[in-house]
Every structure is written in C-alpha cells, then in structure tokens.
C-alpha cells in the first residue's frame, strides 16, 4: 500500500508500484491531491489509485521528435548553465539520452565570440553527439536572431530560445524569464528567430509557467506559447515553476497536464523535479507531455537515462552502477573535458562534477571532500585510486543532493 512506512516500501520490488507511490507523494506536495491529515488509510489509497492507477506493465511511450529531428526515446538531457558542455552531453548520450542541449549563451556573446582555441569549449560539438541543441537568450529581437544564426553556423541541429532563466542579473537586463512579462517582445523574438534560422533546423522555446501566479501572468504565458507554435516553432519545454518562484517549492506538474491538453498534438516537453527514473516516467504518464528534460537529476547521475530506458522496456530497475562502473565514467568525463579545456581550467572545473558523482558512492562525504580538493588530472586519478579501487555496490543519489543547486549562471557568456 502506498501509505506504508518507508521500510515496507524498501521491500516492494515492482518499480511501477514504487513509481505510483512517488506519484502520490508528488501529487500531494504539488497540491494536485488535497487530502488533509485526517484522511488516512484506505480512503487515501482509493483516492490516490483513482487518480494514478498502479500499472503492472510499463507504459507505451510515443517516440519524440522536434520537428523533423527524430529523437525517439523521450527522456533528454536539459540545458544546464555551467554543466551541459560537450563532456557532460557526451556522457549523457553514451548512457542513453537521445538528445542534449548546450548551456545557454548570450546572443551578444555569440555574435562576437572568436573561434580561438581558448574559446572552443563554448560552442564545441562532438562528432558523436548529433542531434544536439544550442540555446540562447537576449533582449533585442534583432540581435537575438543574429545569435541564433551563429549557433546554426557552429553546427547545432536545434535552436532553443530561453525564456526561463530567473537569475536577478538576467532579469534586470530584460533577458531570460523577463520575456514572460512582455508577450509582444517575446513573440517578435520567436518570429524573427524562426525567420533567420534555415527552415530545416527546428526552433524550440524553453519557458517557465509564468512570471508569477497572477492571472495576467497566466494569460501572457498562454499568449506566448500559442504564438510560438503559430510562428512555426517545433516544440516548447515548460518548467513548472514561475520565475518569481525560482527553485522554491515544487514544479507544478498539474500545470503541465492542463497545458498539454490545451496544446493537443503540438509537442510539449516537461521540466521540474525529475530526480530519478521513476520521476521521469511519472511525469510522462501523469501529465501526458511528449518528452521530459532531466536537469539537476542528471548532474553526477548520467545513469538516470539508462535506468529510464530499462524501466520503459519493462525491465526491473537496474541497480545503481558499481564503483568500477562509476570509475570508468568519471574517468572518461575527465578525459573528455581535457579535450576542450586547458589543463589548469579542467581540474578546477571538474571538481563540481566530482562532488556530484560522489553522491553515488557509499562513503559520499569523504569522497566529496576528496573531489573538492582536486587541481588536476593526477589528483583526479588519485581520488579514483583511493575511493574506487574496490568494486563495491554504488547508490542512487538522495534527492536532497540535487535540491539547492539552483543556478542558471550565465553572466560569463
């Protein structure tokens, strides 16, 4: 029964039942299900199972396409500023993500960035990672479309417009999520970008569900998203939080469900609070979105994509990767980073990934501290030699590991 204590759940082996429990927990926390504490036991179970019936078999998921770009599996790697560079995307792709999006770039930066060795990591695309998405944000429609053209020249297969970033500095410069408060400008940006990008390259948009919880914000959101598809955009990704909300409180999946009903056959991807494979499948099933974009949940846990695929194939949830499996990927990630960053930059930059990977190690805190002190390749290898020598079972990261990582720090670019 879904309301049994945690210990009893640990014994339940059917992932679909565990998934349903998470669905109910999510429903309650997001307010989809409003059952007060006096409603316990069987009544609550019946109510929950009516809303999210427990299924014995995996769902049949429709393949995902962004316009003419066919992705197939509908669980993709989200854009993540400071993270979703070529090495992270390549690892995600190798472990089952059919598509990944580069971190957001400023349009101004894109039009003036020189193609030097030092800069190559910004726009670098690996041969093996097509199709890959490039994302941009900016304030002025004209400059925005010029930035989009630069992404096309760099080889990106899909151009994604960012109307979601909630960082104060970004909003102060009328970029990112700010556009949700000015539909005319937002619509002009989408139209001009669509016109500037060659027709065979899909243009998509990423939005939050509004600036805030007001009626006006909701109306603006619906105006913008309808105009997106009317302007020829191929798909929209919606994060179920408002700009004002930043990362406080849950992503409202109920909003995504209503929106998908409104959009009908137009392609919608969902975002927000996807920290496990079960979360991803629950979002797909509960909201009806065509795809989901894994963000914080994939940092340090790229195996989430492999796990999603297993669940979709009706297989039992795979065990967390063992320490030797982890070691192989962590080493590979560093090697990929060395191909695009200088030696000095690489060591410092990889620390944050090491810290996230450490959450899958049974001695999480000690390993985290070891990764936090890395300066270069030798120290990285020393951490692996010390902590990953024995092939012990790993663990999936606790949800709390992801919560609190709340930035979309785009200032540098």
Ligand X SMILES: Cc1cc2nc3c(=O)[nH]c(=O)nc-3n(C[C@H](O)[C@H](O)[C@H](O)COP(=O)(O)O)c2cc1C
Q: Which residues are catalytic?
A: 165
User: For the window 58-77, what string marks contact with ligand X as x by the rule CB under 6 A?
Assistant: --------------------
Among 85, 107, 188, 273, binds ligand X (CB under 6 A): 273
Reply yes or no: is the peptide bond before residue 186 cis, omega within 30 of 0: no
User: 84 near 100, Cβ under 8 Å?
Assistant: yes
Q: Least CB distance from residue 80 to ligand X, whole Å?
A: 4
Radius of gyration over alpha carbons of the chain, in Å?
A: 21
Q: Least CB distance from residue 81 to ligand X, whole Å?
A: 4
User: 211 near 242, Cβ under 8 Å?
Assistant: yes
Among 81, 145, 191, 307, binds ligand X (CB under 6 A): 81
CA distances from 350 to 92, 220, 287, 297, 318 (A): 16, 40, 35, 17, 27
Q: Which of residues 228-247 bind ligand X (CB under 6 A)?
A: 239
Kindly state whether residue 30 participates in binding ligand X, applying the rule CB under 6 A: no
The half-sphere exposure of 403 on its side-chain side, counting CA atoms within 13 A, is 10
Nearest to 337 by CA among 87, 117, 93: 87
Q: Which of residues 279-308 bind ligand X (CB under 6 A)?
A: 295-297
Q: Which of residues 167-226 bind ligand X (CB under 6 A)?
A: 206
- Tell me the window of 35-43, 353-361, 378-386, 402-410 that interacts with ligand X (CB under 6 A): 402-410
- Tell me the window of 177-185, 313-321, 371-379, 404-412 that interacts with ligand X (CB under 6 A): 404-412
Q: Which of residues 128-147 bind ligand X (CB under 6 A)?
A: 135
CA distances from 413 to 107, 186, 344 (A): 9, 21, 20
Query: How far apart are alpha carbons 110 and 86 in whole angstroms?
Result: 17
Sequence-ordered list of residues with C-beta below 8 angstroms from that of 294, at least 6 positions apart, any chain: 75, 76, 77, 78, 97, 274, 280, 304, 305
Cross-strand bridge partners of residue 405: none
DSSP 399: H
Q: Least CB distance from residue 68 to ligand X, whole Å?
A: 22
Helix (H, G, I), strand (E, B) or coil at 336: helix
Residue 163 or 387 with smaller CB distance to ligand X: 163
Count CB-CB contacts under 10 A for residue 72.
Answer: 11
Among 220, 242, 271, 287, binds ligand X (CB under 6 A): 271
Among 259, 269, 274, 360, binds ligand X (CB under 6 A): 274
Helix (H, G, I), strand (E, B) or coil at 139: coil
- Tell me the window of 65-73, 88-96, 351-359, 400-408 that interacts with ligand X (CB under 6 A): 400-408
Cross-strand bridge partners of residue 106: 137
Query: How far apart are alpha carbons 76 and 88 in whole angstroms?
Result: 13
- Tell me the window of 140-148, 259-267, 272-280, 330-338 that interacts with ligand X (CB under 6 A): 272-280
Kindly state whether residue 80 participates in binding ligand X, applying the rule CB under 6 A: yes
Count CB-CB contacts under 10 A for residue 136.
Answer: 29
Residue 161 or 323 with smaller CB distance to ligand X: 161
Q: Least CB distance from residue 272 to ligand X, whole Å?
A: 4
Q: Least CB distance from residue 273 to ligand X, whole Å?
A: 5
- Tell me the window of 67-75, 117-125, 341-349, 405-413 that interacts with ligand X (CB under 6 A): 405-413
- Tell me the window of 62-70, 221-229, 265-273, 368-376 that interacts with ligand X (CB under 6 A): 265-273
Kindly state whether residue 250 participates in binding ligand X, applying the rule CB under 6 A: no
Q: Least CB distance from residue 35 to ligand X, whole Å?
A: 24
Kindly state whether residue 89 participates in binding ligand X, applying the rule CB under 6 A: no
According to DSSP H, which parts of 31-85 are helical? 42-51
Is the Cα dihedral 96, 407, 323, 124 positive or negative? positive
Residue 93 or 239 with smaller CB distance to ligand X: 239
Kindly state whether residue 104 participates in binding ligand X, applying the rule CB under 6 A: yes
Residue 164 or 302 with smaller CB distance to ligand X: 164
Sequence-ordered list of residues with C-beta below 8 angstroms from that of 27, at least 6 positions apart, any chain: 33, 48, 51, 52, 286
Which residues are near ligand X by CB under 6 A?
A: 78-82, 103-104, 135, 162, 164, 206, 239, 251, 271-274, 295-297, 405-408
């Amino acid at each position: 029964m879904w309301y049994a204590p945690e210990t009893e759940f640990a014994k339940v082996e059917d992932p679909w039942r565990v998934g349903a429990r998470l669905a109910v927990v999510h429903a309650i926390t997001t307010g989809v299900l409003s059952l007060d504490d006096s409603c316990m036991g069987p009544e609550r179970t019946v109510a929950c199972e009516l809303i999210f019936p427990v299924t014995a078999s995996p769902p049949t998921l429709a393949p995902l396409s962004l316009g003419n770009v066919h992705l197939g599996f509908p669980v993709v790697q989200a854009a993540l500023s400071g993270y979703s560079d070529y090495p992270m995307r390549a690892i995600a792709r190798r472990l089952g993500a059919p598509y990944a999006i580069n971190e957001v770039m400023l349009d101004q930066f894109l039009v003036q960035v020189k193609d030097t060795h030092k800069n190559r990591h910004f726009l670098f695309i690996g041969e093996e990672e097509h199709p890959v998405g490039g994302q941009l944000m900016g304030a002025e429609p004209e400059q925005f479309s010029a930035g989009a053209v630069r992404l096309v020249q760099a080889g990106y297969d899909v151009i994604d417009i960012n109307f979601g970033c909630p960082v104060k500095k970004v909003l102060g410069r009328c970029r990112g999520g700010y556009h949700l408060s000015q539909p005319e400008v937002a619509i002009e940006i989408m139209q001009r970008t669509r016109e500037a990008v060659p027709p065979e390259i899909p243009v998509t948009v990423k939005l939050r569900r509004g600036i805030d919880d007001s009626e006006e914000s909701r109306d603006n959101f619906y105006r913008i998203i309808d105009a997106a598809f009317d302007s020829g955009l191929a798909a929209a990704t919606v994060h179920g939080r408002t700009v004002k909300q930043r990362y406080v409180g849950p992503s409202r999946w109920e909003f995504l469900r209503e929106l998908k009903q409104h959009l009908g056959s137009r392609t919608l991807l969902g975002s927000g609070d996807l920290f496990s494979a079960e979360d991803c499948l629950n979002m797909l099933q509960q909201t009806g979105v065509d795809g989901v974009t894994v963000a914080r949940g994939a940092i340090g846990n790229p195996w989430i994509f492999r796990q999603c695929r297993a669940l979709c194939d009706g297989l039992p949830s795979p065990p967390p990767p063992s320490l030797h499996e982890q070691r192989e990927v962590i080493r590979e990630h560093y090697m990929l980073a060395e191909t695009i960053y200088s030696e000095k930059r690489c060591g410092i930059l990889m620390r944050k990934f090491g810290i996230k990977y450490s959450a899958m190690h049974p001695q999480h805190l000690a390993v985290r501290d070891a990764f936090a002190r890395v300066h270069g390749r030798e120290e990285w290898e020393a951490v692996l030699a010390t902590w990953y020598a024995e092939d012990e079972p790993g663990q999936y990261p606790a949800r709390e590991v992801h919560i609190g990582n709340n930035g979309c720090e785009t200032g540098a670019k």
